[in-house]
């Protein structure tokens, strides 16, 4: 019934298995990929014909985690998986980036890759399994995919590189690097690092590229055994006729437009040229799409040739110069921390807010539930590029850019025990023409320091580009948006003056060499040092205290057996404290209490209240108390926190007392002295030993 094909190799000390022919047989390609005991079903399907008028490659990649993969039932009311979480969105991007440039030129059929996590052994992350599985599914599908590619994770522990580390090894690692590539070169890099050197990062990429080769060979072997007949490659219309007949006469106009160094002026002139071009196309009854494609090729050739031949860029800079930078802090009143970072025509307004443990983000992942106390959110409103469109919830791009900046900053963030705040950073991109994610890194670093968050050192980021023709290449520092679109690489490096904290690379060609990467890393370091110097003119270290508008958090520790007393039955006591003092109080299972307040008076009031509750009475000490109950033989007085003690009738007064109520009644404020505490914790008190007016002891 089933025509099953299976390929198994040992990779990083664990079995990696590709199996096809048993599940999802109606997909163009379907591969069940298992690494250790983590299993991902990867499928690839493409429509047989492209939709008319489509001028881009409509590829969709969906990575989805099923709760049953980890033996869990989803939380929430509906008890089923809902919209993609952050991990699913980021992994979808992680798979999309290395496979997208590997499809045949001109292939514009709608294509969908779906990777479904079926089992998670909590030791091998499904993201790498999904990446290699997607590559295998595409390779055997017959779809014009020029792979295979492979993915790999690299760690750096005790000066050694580790292949596909487990969670324990990753926790000890100074590096978390995910790499995608082909047999010939690297296509994609995504990483977080603990201020590592350029040499160490390059070594990790080289190590990863070497170690992924057995996987590529295994996919090739699988394809040789069971791949479907390859689709006919699409006929690529080079547009030579359109170029010569219609577009070429406008070359002079395009060159003149690209001589404008201002983006706005350049865009206006390009629109004028294209408007004339399209009118000419109408007059000659030519297809608009083909005309615009030809025009784009002409533009690309103009820009690239100018850079390769004389190093002259669109805005007049050379290949290494960073655009003018302005850095300001404290720009938003009432914010806990804020910064405005401007680099050329790219600008980020970044605001930091400090909260308490109650503001932490609760994340329900396959690996288990955990809390995140550092969040970074990136927003890209349409006005930042002079457009008017609908405001939508953050998409994959916004989530990916925010995560890149988060990775760059996290290695320098203080530990929770050192800085007990929940930190949220929001980056609003107010202008964009070249790497707004790196502007977010710079602005976030400034904003955090302005808020008094004790980051170890300032962090800056820079985006690098590449123009490559045959063996000639030029690396560009601080690329513009047009250079990103028309170039061959988007290479983003963030870090401090001590090393790299994050590296992201995407290649539009079929891979780059170690020589190109080394040149890009060295040039990026020079650019990063320059940006750090410009940032330091505004602020060069964290403020000594948090902003006056931020809550003050004071931490104390109480005995574990006192936690119940502070919380009270049903939370009654702690609720009363917070309502009366206007503070926020967090208590953990170890007895650590964090009191957050906007004023020192409120904080002191809450702390005194808690200290009274947990305080232990001392023999011979005088306390203020309240009579809570009277009985025939004496009165019970609440004198410290929730502790009550007995004042025997004989200790009410120096004179004989016929009846307790002759002296005191419930609710009276009295002064008492602790006479004794027995083995069971019962306290004997005395009123007659204390002057009720002055509180002085009576001999």
Q: Per DSSP, what are the bridge partners of residue 353?
A: 424
Among 133-147, 225-239, 295-309, 644-658, top mean pLDDT goes to: 133-147
Per-residue pLDDT band for 113 (boundaries 50, 70, 90) equals very high
pLDDT computed for residue 237 by the predictor:
60
- Nearest in space to 448 (alpha carbons), one of 423, 428, 415, 418: 423
Query: What's the per-residue H, E or C state across 616-631?
Result: CCCCCCEEEEEEEEEE
| Residue 422: predicted pLDDT | 94
Q: What pLDDT band is residue 275 in, cutting at 50, 70 and 90?
A: confident
Closest C-alpha among 318, 317, 319, 309 to residue 524 = 319
pLDDT confidence of residue 364: 84
Percentage of the chain exceeding pLDDT 90: 53
Chain segment 188-199, per-residue pLDDT in tens: 999 999 999 999
Three-state secondary structure of 48-100: CCCCCCCCCCCEEEEEEECHHHHCCCCCCCCCCCCCCCHHHHHHHHHHHHHHH
DSSP 260: -
Q: Please state the rounded mean pLDDT for residues 168-195.
A: 94
Tokens 């009854």 belong to 285
Band (151; pLDDT cuts 50, 70, 90): very high
Cα dihedral sign, 85-88-93-94:
positive
Task: Say how far apart CA 585 and CA 481 lie, in whole Å.
Answer: 47
For residue 240, the model assigns a pLDDT of 61
* pLDDT value, residue 426: 98
Nearest to 504 by CA among 462, 475, 469, 467: 462
pLDDT digits (tens, 9 = 90+) for 342-397: 999 999 999 999 998 888 898 888 888 889 999 999 999 999 988 898 888 888 99
Collect all residues with Cβ–Cβ distance below 8 Å to 606 and sequence separation of at least 6. 577, 578, 581, 583, 585, 595, 597
- Report the DSSP beta bridge partners of residue 115: 42, 63
Query: Which structure tokens are listed for 192?
Result: 């977080």
What's the DSSP call for residue 36?
Answer: T
Asked if 128 contacts 96 with a C-beta cutoff of 8 angstroms, the reply is no
Average pLDDT of span 617-630: 88
- Burial category of 683 from C-beta neighbours within 10 Å (exposed 0-12, middle 13-18, buried 19 and up): buried
| Whether 63 contacts 80, CB under 8 Å | no
Higher pLDDT, 290 or 557: 557
Average pLDDT over residues 19-31: 96
Task: Write the pLDDT tens digit of every residue in 571-603.
Answer: 888 898 889 888 888 888 888 888 988 888 888
User: At 339, is the pLDDT very low, low, confident or very high (cuts 50, 70, 90)?
Assistant: very high
Q: What digits encode the pLDDT tens for the residues 430-473?
A: 999 888 999 999 999 999 999 999 999 999 999 998 888 877 88
HEC readout, 547-575: CCCCCEEEEEECCHHHHHHHHCHHHHHHH
- For residue 244, the 8-state DSSP code is I
- Please state, in angstroms and rounded to a whole number, the distance separating the CA atoms of residues 305 and 313: 10
pTM: 0.85
| pLDDT per residue as tens digits for the range 671-699 | 999 999 887 878 899 998 888 888 888 87
Q: At 169, is the pLDDT very low, low, confident or very high (cuts 50, 70, 90)?
A: very high
Q: What angle do CA 101, 201, 417 make, to 5 degrees?
A: 115
Q: How confident is the model at residue 267 (pLDDT cuts 50, 70, 90)?
A: confident
Average pLDDT, the chain: 90
pLDDT by residue (tens digit) across 210-249? 999 999 999 999 999 999 999 987 676 655 666 666 677 7
**Does the pLDDT of residue 283 top 90, yes or no?**
no
* 654, pLDDT greater than 90: no
């Amino acid at each position: 019934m089933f025509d099953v094909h299976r390929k198994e190799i040992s990779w990083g000390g664990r079995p990696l298995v590709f199996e096809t022919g048993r599940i999802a047989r109606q997909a163009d390609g379907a591969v069940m990929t298992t690494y250790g005991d983590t299993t991902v079903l990867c499928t690839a399907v493409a429509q047989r014909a492209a939709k008319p008028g489509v001028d881009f490659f409509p590829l969709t990649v969906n990575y989805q985690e099923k709760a049953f993969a980890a033996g869990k039932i989803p939380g929430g009311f509906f008890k089923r998986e809902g919209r993609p979480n952050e991990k699913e969105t980021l992994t979808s991007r992680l798979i999309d980036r290395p496979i997208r440039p590997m499809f045949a030129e001109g292939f514009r059929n709608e294509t969908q890759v779906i990777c479904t996590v079926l089992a998670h052994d909590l030791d091998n992350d499904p993201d790498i399994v999904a990446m290699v599985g997607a590559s295998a599914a595409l390779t055997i599908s017959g779809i014009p995919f020029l792979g295979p590619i492979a993915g790999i994770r690299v760690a750096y522990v005790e000066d050694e590189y580790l292949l596909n580390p487990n969670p324990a090894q990753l926790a000890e690692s100074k590096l978390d690097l995910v790499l995608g590539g082909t047999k010939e070169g690297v296509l994609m890099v995504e990483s977080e690092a603990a201020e590592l050197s350029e040499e160490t990062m390059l070594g990790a990429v080289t190590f990863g590229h070497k170690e992924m080769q057995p996987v590529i060979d295994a996919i090739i072997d699988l394809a040789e055994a069971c791949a479907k007949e390859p689709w006919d490659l699409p006929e690529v219309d080079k547009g030579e006729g359109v170029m010569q007949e219609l577009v070429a006469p406008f070359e002079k106009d395009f060159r003149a437009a690209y001589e404008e160094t201002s983006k706005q002026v350049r865009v206006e002139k390009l629109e004028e040229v294209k408007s004339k071009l399209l009118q000419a196309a109408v007059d000659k009854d030519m297809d608009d799409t083909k005309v615009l494609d030809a025009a784009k090729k002409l533009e690309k050739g103009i820009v690239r040739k100018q850079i390769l031949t004389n190093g002259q860029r669109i805005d007049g800079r050379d290949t290494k110069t960073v655009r003018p930078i302005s850095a300001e802090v404290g720009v938003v009143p009432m914010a806990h921390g804020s910064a405005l970072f401007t680099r050329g025509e790219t600008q980020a307004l970044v605001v930091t807010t400090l909260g308490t443990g109650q503001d932490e983000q609760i994340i329900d992942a396959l690996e288990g539930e955990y809390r995140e106390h550092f969040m970074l959110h990136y927003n890209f409103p349409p006005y930042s590029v002079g457009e008017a469109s609908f405001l939508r919830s953050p998409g994959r791009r916004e989530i990916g850019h925010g995560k890149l900046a988060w990775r760059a900053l996290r290695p320098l963030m203080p530990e929770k025990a050192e800085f007990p705040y929940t930190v949220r950073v929001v980056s609003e991109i107010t202008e964009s023409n070249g790497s707004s994610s790196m502007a977010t890194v710079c602005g976030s670093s400034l904003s955090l320091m302005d808020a008094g968050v004790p980051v170890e050192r300032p962090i800056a980021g820079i985006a690098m580009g590449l123009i490559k023709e045959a063996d000639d290449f030029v690396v560009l520092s601080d690329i513009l948006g047009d250079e990103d679109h028309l170039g061959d690489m988007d290479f983003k490096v963030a870090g401090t003056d001590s090393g790299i904290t994050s590296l992201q690379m995407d290649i539009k060609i079929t891979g780059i060499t170690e020589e190109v990467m080394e040149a890009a890393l060295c040039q990026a370091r020079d650019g990063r040092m320059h940006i750090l110097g410009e940032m330091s003119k505004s602020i060069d270290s964290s403020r000594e205290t948090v902003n006056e508008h931020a809550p003050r958090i004071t931490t104390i520790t109480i005995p574990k057996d006192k936690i119940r007393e502070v919380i009270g039955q049903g939370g009654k006591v702690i609720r009363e404290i917070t309502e009366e003092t206007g503070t926020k109080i967090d208590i953990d299972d170890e007895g650590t209490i964090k009191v957050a307040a906007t004023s020192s008076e409120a904080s002191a009031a809450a702390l005194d209240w808690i200290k009274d509750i947990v305080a232990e009475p001392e023999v011979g000490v005088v306390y203020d108390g309240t009579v809570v109950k009277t009985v025939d033989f004496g009165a019970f007085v609440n004198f410290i926190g929730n502790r009550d003690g007995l004042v025997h009738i004989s200790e009410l007064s120096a004179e004989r007392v016929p009846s307790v109520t002759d002296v005191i009644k419930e609710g009276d404020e009295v002064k008492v002295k602790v006479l004794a505490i027995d083995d069971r914790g019962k306290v004997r008190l005395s009123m007659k030993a204390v002057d009720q007016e002055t509180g002085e002891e009576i001999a």
